[in-house]
């Protein structure tokens, strides 16, 4: 208990001078829940739909039966804020984890369950995230580079209020703790190193050359060269460049190999035609396969199927076959027997900051500013608060 109080006190003191300036980020930490249990000391629970405010003395667990509460959402197509919970200690427990800040309980988009949201100061969010998205034991300069990248992504989500295509600005949260956005941590994921990385870069983000905040992406290992967003997701982002990365070759995941059968390849072309990823109409028959010699640093593959040319983006192959067959977007394909063999390097989508590369750079003595300027040469580092 003494250790917990000491850690909590140090976190609160380190943020007190910036509390009025630091953004509060809303993170969805649980979704589509039938029941929610929240525990804390001297809990204050506010049921907004009937204005029922209650404070409990001592340690208390509050239960929400979402199947009952979501009847309130019967005639609405947007989430409803059901309740808020907070504790004077600053800590709340959910799903066997402790979180700093406030909880909000909302109806899920379909109205048949609940979501739970954690409202937390930005730097506390970044500090706990570093343990999940990187490694708290890595060199401090790599952690600082990751802190800037993750903070920029979070602040962009907050400013655009487009957490999902379906909800847009009607959502009660800025981003969710998952691989869809960023994987956040809990109170005990923050360490001395991650607190330092967050505090030493507090408020710093990457902006475009025109001064705008756009999403900053990161991945585990690029395999030799990073990609632009438009090469993977078709969305062009200002100031992004593809850069060489000779730093990640000897660290992290080893080169990988996969094999795709003729039947699976046929299924892919049927799907790609239906989804309009290829302009040329596919007949549904696969009588012959010819591949133009491929190289690992290309982002398209040239197929000749039944003597007709098809140019396929490598990211589209990964989207269809998944991360098990294609752990990254950095690979080459060759015809082998009745199918195709895949040889690749790296792990992840390959856009933006290469974490394994950042690790090596930091081990060599590079500063976080130099690391960021390598992966984002046309972006500008700016302090926002």
Asked if pLDDT for residue 12 goes beyond 80, the answer is no
Give the pTM: 0.89
Residue 352 near residue 379, CB atoms below 8 Å: no
For residue 132, give Cα distances in angstroms to 11, 55, 137. 19, 33, 11
CA 238-241-244 angle, to 5 degrees, is 165
**pLDDT tens per residue across span 185-208:** 999 999 999 999 999 999 999 999
The pLDDT-based confidence of 112 (bands split at 50, 70, 90) is confident
Q: What is the mean pLDDT of the chain?
A: 90
Q: From the centroid of its chain, how far is CA 227?
A: 17
**Given this model, what pLDDT does residue 385 score?**
95
Query: CA-to-CA distance for 89 and 5, rounded, in angstroms?
Result: 9
| pLDDT at residue 49 in the model | 82
Query: Can you give the pLDDT at residue 238?
Result: 87
Find the mean pLDDT for residues 325-348.
Answer: 94
CA 226, distance to chain mean position in Å, is 17
User: Which class for 200: exposed (0-12), middle (13-18), buried (19 or more C-beta within 10 A)?
Assistant: middle
Rounded percentage of the chain residues whose pLDDT exceeds 90: 74
Residue that the structure tokens 């969805």 belong to: 28
């Amino acid at each position: 208990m003494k250790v917990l109080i000491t850690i909590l006190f140090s976190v609160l003191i380190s943020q007190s001078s910036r509390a009025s300036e630091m953004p509060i980020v809303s993170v969805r930490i649980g979704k589509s829940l039938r029941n929610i249990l929240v525990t804390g000391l001297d809990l204050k629970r506010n049921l907004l739909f009937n204005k029922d405010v209650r404070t409990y003395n001592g340690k208390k667990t509050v239960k929400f039966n979402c199947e009952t509460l979501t009847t309130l959402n019967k005639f609405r197509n947007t989430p409803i804020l059901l309740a808020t919970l907070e504790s004077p200690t600053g800590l709340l427990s959910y799903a066997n984890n402790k979180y700093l800040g406030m909880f909000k309980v909302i109806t899920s988009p379909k109205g048949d369950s609940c979501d739970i949201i954690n409202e937390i100061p930005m730097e506390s969010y970044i500090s706990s995230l570093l343990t999940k998205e990187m490694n708290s034991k890595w060199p401090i300069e790599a952690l600082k580079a990751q802190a800037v990248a993750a903070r920029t992504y979070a602040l962009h989500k907050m400013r655009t209020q487009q957490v999902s295509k379906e909800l847009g600005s009607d959502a009660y949260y800025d981003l969710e703790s998952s691989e869809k956005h960023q994987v956040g941590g809990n109170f005990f994921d923050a360490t001395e190193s991650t607190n330092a990385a967050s505090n030493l870069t507090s408020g710093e983000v990457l902006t475009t050359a025109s001064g705008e905040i756009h999403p900053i992406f990161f991945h585990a290992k690029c395999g030799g060269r990073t990609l632009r967003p438009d090469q993977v997701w078709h969305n062009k982002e200002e100031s992004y460049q593809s850069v060489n990365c000779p730093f990640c070759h000897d660290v992290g995941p080893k080169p990988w190999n996969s094999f795709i059968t003729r039947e699976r390849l046929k299924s892919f072309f049927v799907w790609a035609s239906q989804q309009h990823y290829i302009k040329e109409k596919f007949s549904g028959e696969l009588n012959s396969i010819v591949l133009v010699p491929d190289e690992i640093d290309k982002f398209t593959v040239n197929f000749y199927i039944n003597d007709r040319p098809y140019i396929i983006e490598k990211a589209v192959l990964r989207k269809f076959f998944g991360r098990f067959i294609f752990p990254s977007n950095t690979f080459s394909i060759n015809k082998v027997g009745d199918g195709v063999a895949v040889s690749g390097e790296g792990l992840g989508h390959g856009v933006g900051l290469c974490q394994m590369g950042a690790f090596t750079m930091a081990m060599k003595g590079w500063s976080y500013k130099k690391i960021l300027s390598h992966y984002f040469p046309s972006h500008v580092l700016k302090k926002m608060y």
